[in-house]
Amino acid sequence: MLKKIPHAARLILCPSEPGAEPPLRLRLSALTQDSVKALRGARGQIAAVILRDGKPRAFDARCPHMGAPLETGRCVSGDLICPWHGYRFSGESGALLENPNHAVMKTLRLPSASFDPELKPNYRLREYPLTITDGWIVLA
């Protein structure tokens, strides 16, 4: 949102207000095949929770590429999709599987002194252990 600096004729485009904090526990039944839910751990860590092969999995919600909030991403076939750049992370291992821009931006992704299109970042999401009690998921 645009905010005016007091006593100055300047406008600042401020970041959006932060949303509500993710819950400390999550109903297992709230997870569907394609959903991504946010969950907060006791130490304040935020996880993106998905269903993979019918089992809930929790990964660090901060994308290692640019820091995107993965809990606002998508889940496709049990993999986690980053909302900022579309990077696809395995819902099994947390490893980066695919950067969809490889194909889309082929004409621009040319080798140069500072960029090698053949290199693939070795990003891997940290997985958090979960406990499930009475149908509630909690970060262990």
Partner 1 sequence: MRHTFEVIYEIDCTVGEAVAAYLDAEHYMFLHHSYTPRYEALWRDGTKIAILQAWQAGPLTMGNSCTTEYQPPSRFLNYDIKPVPAWLPSIHHLVKTRTDLHYYASEDGQRTVSHLTVTLDMPWFMWPLRKLIEARLTRLKIEKDQEDVDMITRSQRTFGRGNLSHYFRKDIFLLHKDVFLAHFGPATAAHDGTG
Query: Given the rule CB under 8 A, which residues bind partner 1?
Result: 1-2, 10-16, 62, 65-69, 82-86, 99, 101, 104-105, 107-109, 112-117, 119-121
Which of 31/59 has CB closer to partner 1? 59
CB 130 to partner 1: min, Å: 24
Residues 48, 80: contact at Cβ < 8 Å?
Answer: yes
Which of 71/130 has CB closer to partner 1? 71
Tell how far CA 119 is from the center of its chain. Answer: 22
CB 64 to partner 1: min, Å: 9
Which of 13/20 has CB closer to partner 1? 13
